[in-house]
Structure 1
C-alpha cells in the first residue's frame, strides 16, 4: 500500500483528503439539480459502482435508495473467488478473509440404500480447485459487504454517501442534447413520502432490483420461466447432531426434498436452503403462507436420522425459483444510432435461483465492468461509444449464468432417479457441482474479441493468461524491498490500465520497450498523458524479470520504472518485480509465459486481459490503445 505521495499525513491511510468543493450530504441538504451519474439502488451492484466512481471527485455521482438506511442482515452471503479478487482491488479483500467463513470442502449426502429414510455422507470435494485463484471462496453477511463498499465511498476524495429514502420513479432521455440529457424523477419514501424531485443526469444506472423502475422506463422486460418450486432460506443459530454442519453441504433425501447448508462467519451461525413444495403452474409461493416453522420441520424430515434444534432464527424468507433475463442492458435499441445513456445491472436485468451463489457476485461484476467505462467517457479519455460494450459483454455472461443455473436448480430439485445425471457413476448433484466449480468460482467469464479484447494472435506467449479472461495472479518478489506478493494485487480498482512487461532471456529487449513507452511520441503512455498528471495516471506499467531480486540493478532501470510522482515529485520504487525465490511458485512456469521471448500483457481496469503481444510489437500496442483511448490535447 502506497501513501504519503503528496506529503506526510498522520491517521488512517485509507481515508483520503476531501476533494475541494465536494457536495455536503447532511440529512437536510437539498438534492443537486444535475449530476454526472445517478445510481438507483444501494445493493451490491449499485454500491460497487458508487465505490469505483467515488475515486474520481471530478465526476459528480449520486446514489439513491428507497430504504431509510443500510440493511443489517439477510439476503445473499456467498463471495466467489473472482469477487474476492475484486475485493482485493478495492482494498478490503484481506478484511473479508479475516471476518468470513472459508468454504474449503463441500460434502454430499444422499439416501442410505440400506435405509432410504435416512441420509448418509457419500463424498466430499475440495471447493476451490488448486491454483484456480489465490483467494478463497467465502461466506459473509451481504450487509457487511455493503458496509465495506460504503467505507470505500466515505473514505474517498468524493466523500460519497447514499441519499436514502429516495426512489427512482421515472427516467426520460432527451436524445437532442448531450448536456445532462436524462431527466430523473425521484420520489421521497421517508418522512416526506410522496414528495417528488426532478434532476438531470448524464448517465443513469438502474441497480434497483427485479422490479426495476429504471428497466421499465427504457422498455426492458425480463423474459424466462419459473420452476414452480417453493424454497425457504433461513439464517439460524442452532444445535444439531449432524456432523458436517460447519461444512458446505448438499443433502438430498429419498422423498422429502433437498437442503443446502452454508456455514456463516463467526463460528455459530449457518444458513439453510430448504426445499418445500411444488407449486401449481398458476400458483404463487405467497399463497401457501409458509413460515419459518415449516422450514424447520421440513429440514428435520430431510436430515433424518439427524435433528436440528433451532435456538434463534436470525432471518428467513420464502421464494420460488425463476430464471429471467432482459434482452439488453441499456436504453439503445438495435436500430438506434446513438450511444447509451441509461443502463441496468444485477437483478434489474437477470434473476435466477440463489443456490449457486452467483446473484450478488454477478451483479457486482456487472458494475465493475461498467464503472471504469463511465469514468473514461466522463473524463474525456474515451469516446462515448465505449459504453456500448457494456451490454454486449455482460449480456453474454448473464445468459451463461441463467443457462447454467437453470440446469443446476432442476437437478437440485429432482427426486433421486428423476434427473438426467442419475446413473452416471456418482450422484447427479455431486457430478454437476464438480463440473461447475470454475463457473461458480466466477472464473468462467471470457469476453469475446472486440476493440477491448484482442484476437489471440500471440496467445502462445502466455498460455496461462488467456485473452478475455481475468488476469490470473501468481507469486512474485518486489525487487526494491524483496517483498513476496501476488502480482495481480497491484491492479487496484482505480480505473487504470495495466501493462505487464515480462522480460525474456535477453532483458535488454524489455528495457528497450520500457524506454520507448516512457519517452517516444508514439507511446500510448505519452500520447494519453495530460499536463500535470503522473506518468502512470492512466496506464500503469510494471516489469517482471527472471532473476532473483539481488541480481537486478534498480539503478539501471529506465525512468518509467522509477517515476517521479505526486506534488513533491517522489520516486516510486514499486514497479519492478522478479521471480519468487521462496518456493511459492515461478510465475513464468505457472502462467505459461515464454521464457525465451517474454511478452507484454495488457490488462483492463476491470482486471480482464485485453491483449498479449511480443515485446517487439510496439506498433501493435500503440494501435490497440489508439482504438480505445483519446490522445491528450494538453500533453506535458
Structure 2
C-alpha cells in the first residue's frame, strides 16, 4: 500500500497523549467496553525520570481499577519526612525534625510512593494490552474540526469531531495519514498541548523566578536521611531528597537566579548546567555531610516553576483537556502526575454514562467545574509551598527568612491536600448536600473514607474501599441499622419496597430494567455477628450472599466495629450514594427517597 493513501476510522473517544492522564482515561474507557483510540508523538513510553510521586488517594484510585498491587510491589514507600536547617555551630546543616511523611491517617495507604513515570505507564499499558488496546506511535494530530451542525446531536451514529492524524515514520504499506471521526477527544498532550492551542485556550497564571534542577542517581553518602523524604534549607540554597525505587534517589536542587538562564532569550538553557554542576550545587547544601559524584546519572533536567491553570477545560462538551495540558505547577509537592490521573479518573465515568445513553450530556459540564476548581486550589497551595521552599532559611543573620516552624506548619496544614484525601467537590448536579446531617462523619463531595466491615455470611473482614471498584456503577450503601430487631427490619423491608417502585431512581436510571448494570447495592447492618441473619434482609438488599455486611469487630476482635460511629450514621438508618469515582454524591434518610430520585433526575436520560 503506498504511504500517501488516507485511512479513515470511527471511534467513540480519541485520546491524544499517552502520558499518565491519557493512559488512565484509556484504561478506564476500555475496561468499560467503550471504543477508544490513543495516540502519542513519542516512539516509546518514558524510559526514566519525569514524574515519580504517587500520593495516597491516587493509590486508592489505582486499587479501584485493580492496578495497585504491582505499583506497591515495584515502588518505594516514603513513611518519614526529615527537615534540616542551618546549624549555628558547624556552618552547615543539622537535623531539626522528623515527622510522618503523610499526616493523613484515614487511608489504607498512609505513605507516599515513588516509581518513575515509565514504570507507572507500563502498568497501564499492560492492562490495556490485555483488553486489546495499544498506543499508536509515533503519531501526531495535524488538524481537528468540530462540526457546528452536529456538535449538539447525541445520536448514536453521530461523530462530530474530525481529527487528521499523521504517522511520523510509517512502515512500508502503512498509510501516513488517517482521518478519525470521533464523538469525543481528550487532549492529554502535556504542557505544550496541541489540542489546547488548537482551540485557543489560554493558560492563566504566571511563571516564577525560581529555578530548580533535578537529578536521579544512586548516591554514595554519609547523610543519615538519604532514604527519607528530606527538605534541606541551608545558607547555600535549598534541596529536597526523594528516595526512589531500588537504591536510587531524586534530588531537587535550587539554583541561583542566573545560573541556568540564557542572557539573550531569558529562558532556562540546559546547555549551561549539566548533572555534574547540579550535584556540585547540592554538595554545598549537604555540608557537613558528603555525597559523591556517581559514574553515571539516570536522568536530569532543569526548570522554572510555572503556576498556571487553563481558562477552560472543554470545548462544547466534546473536546476536553486534562493533566499538564490544563495545569502546571511545582513538582516538589508531588502533585503533577497525581492531579493528571485524577483528572481523567473524574472524566472517564462521566463520558461512559453519556456514551451509553444513561446520562444527559450536561453531566460532562461537571468535569470542568470540579477539576478546574481543584487545580486553582492546587496553584494557591503551590504558590505558598514553592515560596517557602525557595526562600532563604531564617537564621541569626537572616531574620526575615523562612523558619522551620513556618515550613512545618505549611507541610502539615496542606497534608490532606497533597495526599489527595482532602479534595472536596462543591455542590452540583452530582453533589447534593441536603441531608449531610444524617451522616456527619461523611463529607458529601469527598471520597468515601476507608472502613473495615465484616461480611455477614462468613465473618470475613473487608476494607470498604475495596468493595467500591471503578466499574462505572453508582454504589448504593444501605446503612440498615440493627436488623436483628424486628421493628428495624420492618423499616428496611418498607425501604426495599419503596426503592423497587417503577418511579424510583433504581428503575429510571437503569437500562432495560437491569438495575445492577448501573448500580451495586451493599447493605451494612449494625447487628452483631452473633445475632445477624443476613438472609432476613429483603432480596433487593442481598442480591448475592456477599453483599451484606455488619458493623462489628472481626472474629479475633482486632479490627472493625466503628463504622456507624466514625461515619456519624443515625441508628434508624440512612442511604448513601457513592459516585462511580468513589466520591459521596448524596445522603438521604429512609423517608426521603424522593430526594435521591431528584438527584438522579438532575443528570439522567431516563428510560
- Taking structure 1 as the reference length, what is the TM-score of the superposition? 0.87
User: Cα deviation per residue 1:552-608 (whole Å; 9 max; x = unaligned)?
Assistant: 212222222333xxxxxxxx3221111241332434355332342221111111111
Contact 2:270 2:301 (8 Å CA) reproduced: no
For 2:7 and 2:465, how far apart are their aligned partners in 1?
Answer: 39
Matched, 1:105 2:88: no
Matched, 1:181 2:157: no
Which residue number corresponds to residue 422 of structure 2? 444
Matched, 1:466 2:448: no
For 2:571 and 2:73, how far apart are their aligned partners in 1?
Answer: 40
Contact 2:453 2:563 (8 Å CA) reproduced: no
Contact 2:436 2:587 (8 Å CA) reproduced: yes
Secondary structure at the counterpart of residue 443 of structure 1: coil
Choose which of 365, 389, 405 in structure 1 pairs with 2:342. Answer: 365
Choose which of 147, 163, 173 in structure 1 pairs with 2:122. Answer: 147
Q: Name stretches of at least 5 consecutive residues in structure 1 with no aligned partner.
A: 1-28, 333-339, 564-571
Choose which of 201, 205, 212 in structure 1 pairs with 2:186. Answer: 205
* CA deviation after TM superposition for structure 1 residue 322, in Å: 0.9
**Residues 130 and 366 from structure 1, CA distance in 2 versus in 1: closer, same or farther, beyond 3 angstroms?**
closer
* CA deviation after TM superposition for structure 1 residue 198, in Å: 2.0
Q: Which shifted more, 203-212 or 589-598?
A: 589-598
Choose which of 132, 137, 161 in structure 2 pairs with 1:164. Answer: 137
Choose which of 54, 60, 64 in structure 2 pairs with 1:85. Answer: 60
For 2:458 and 2:168, how far apart are their aligned partners in 1?
Answer: 54
Secondary structure at the counterpart of residue 73 of structure 1: coil
Secondary structure at the counterpart of residue 102 of structure 1: strand
For 1:532 and 1:601, how far apart are their aligned partners in 2?
Answer: 22
Q: Name stretches of at least 5 consecutive residues in structure 2 with no aligned partner.
A: 483-487
Secondary structure at the counterpart of residue 148 of structure 1: helix
* CA deviation after TM superposition for structure 1 residue 100, in Å: 1.8
For 2:539 and 2:564, how far apart are their aligned partners in 1?
Answer: 29
* CA deviation after TM superposition for structure 1 residue 423, in Å: 7.8
For 1:347 and 1:207, how far apart are their aligned partners in 2?
Answer: 7
For 1:194 and 1:607, how far apart are their aligned partners in 2?
Answer: 42
* CA deviation after TM superposition for structure 1 residue 32, in Å: 5.1
* CA deviation after TM superposition for structure 1 residue 93, in Å: 1.8
For 1:522 and 1:426, how far apart are their aligned partners in 2?
Answer: 60
Choose which of 128, 145, 150 in structure 1 pairs with 2:102. Answer: 128
Which residue number corresponds to residue 283 of structure 1? 266
Matched, 1:262 2:242: yes
Which residue number corresponds to residue 15 of structure 2? 39
Secondary structure at the counterpart of residue 324 of structure 2: helix
Contact 2:83 2:96 (8 Å CA) reproduced: yes
Where do 1:231-630 residues align within 5 Å?
Answer: 231-254=212-235, 256-266=236-246, 268-279=247-258, 283-286=266-269, 289-309=272-292, 310-332=294-316, 340-417=317-394, 426-454=404-432, 456-505=433-482, 506-517=488-499, 519-531=500-512, 533=514, 535-563=515-543, 572-581=544-553, 582-589=557-564, 591-630=566-605
**Residues 306 and 424 from structure 1, CA distance in 2 versus in 1: closer, same or farther, beyond 3 angstroms?**
closer
Q: Which shifted more, 83-92 or 501-510?
A: 501-510
**Residues 31 and 591 from structure 1, CA distance in 2 versus in 1: closer, same or farther, beyond 3 angstroms?**
farther
Which residue number corresponds to residue 567 of structure 1? none
**Residues 305 and 30 from structure 1, CA distance in 2 versus in 1: closer, same or farther, beyond 3 angstroms?**
farther
* CA deviation after TM superposition for structure 1 residue 68, in Å: 1.4
Contact 1:322 1:351 (8 Å CA) reproduced: yes
* CA deviation after TM superposition for structure 1 residue 190, in Å: 2.7
Contact 1:170 1:214 (8 Å CA) reproduced: no
For 2:383 and 2:398, how far apart are their aligned partners in 1?
Answer: 13
* CA deviation after TM superposition for structure 1 residue 204, in Å: 0.5
User: Cα deviation per residue 1:87-108 (whole Å; 9 max; x = unaligned)?
Assistant: 1101022332233222111000
Contact 2:15 2:187 (8 Å CA) reproduced: yes
For 1:424 and 1:312, how far apart are their aligned partners in 2?
Answer: 34
Secondary structure at the counterpart of residue 315 of structure 2: coil
Choose which of 61, 68, 75 in structure 1 pairs with 2:43. Answer: 68
For 1:541 and 1:63, how far apart are their aligned partners in 2?
Answer: 34
